[in-house]
Amino acid sequence: MRNFKLGIHRDARPQATFLLTAAALSILLWFIPFAEVLTYPFRLFVTFIHEGGHALAALLTGNTVESLSIATNASGETYTTQGGLFSAIPFTFLAGTLLTLGLVAVAKFANSRLATFFLSFLAVQCVLNALLDLKTVFFLSTPFAPGMPSDAVNMANATGIPALVWASVWIAVSVGILLLTMRLYVSGRKKQFSLDQAFEPVPLFPTTIGEKQLR
């Protein structure tokens, strides 16, 4: 069996450094008062991604999306059959427009290092917010929860499988995907050759023919 040596590939080291720095900064912001103001746009972005997943699932199952709304507290709702909560639609449109303009501005005006760090920070924020949301869903699915609605509760009502089971499965799958992605992101293996190495030029004519012509 061929042995592979796993580690941080030299081509991935700058990205890994940015990612680890963004993760450290994100965790540090948790302990700074009022720092949630800085991460608020990222929370809205994650909510758009989350609710967009509900909308996509509805479309893939043959349903229609009646509305998708984002509230000022970064919560969201997606209705697929019975209309929606249209009072949050203006904020949803405003937040979506500003987030789009911000991403376009970073892509257009930021240099490569700043853009890479921004994407790393955005990725870390998405992961952390997703894990925090799953933690909330898990506690809302326990018998001690106040009976508030959640995605796990909706799945329990639709399938008969307890909400706590759904929340646990989602957490396990999410952590597994995260670990696999991190390993693929920063790990590499020694290869016999590198695709980045330039190939040696091949002469159009054999050397012997060229020497005869020069003579």
pLDDT digits (tens, 9 = 90+) for 140-165: 888 777 667 788 888 888 899 998 89
H helical segments located in the chain: 13-30, 36-60, 89-109, 112-140, 151-159, 163-186, 207-214
Q: Does residue 4 or residue 43 have the better pLDDT?
A: 43
Which residues are within 8 A (CB) of 194 and not within 5 positions of it... i.e. 6 or more apart?
none
**CA–CA gap between residue 12 and residue 185 (Å, rounded):** 7
Which residue range(s) make up the domain with 103?
7-189
Residue count of the chain:
215
pLDDT digits (tens, 9 = 90+) for 26-38: 878 877 888 888 8
- When mean pLDDT is compared across 45-49, 75-79, 108-112, 134-138, the lowest value belongs to 134-138
Does the pLDDT at position 104 exceed 90?
Answer: yes
- Closest-CA residue to 74 (of 97, 57, 51): 51
User: Does 31 fall in a domain?
Assistant: yes
User: Does 211 fall in a domain?
Assistant: no
**CA–CA gap between residue 141 and residue 149 (Å, rounded):** 9
Q: How many domains does the chain have?
A: 1
pLDDT for position 184: 72
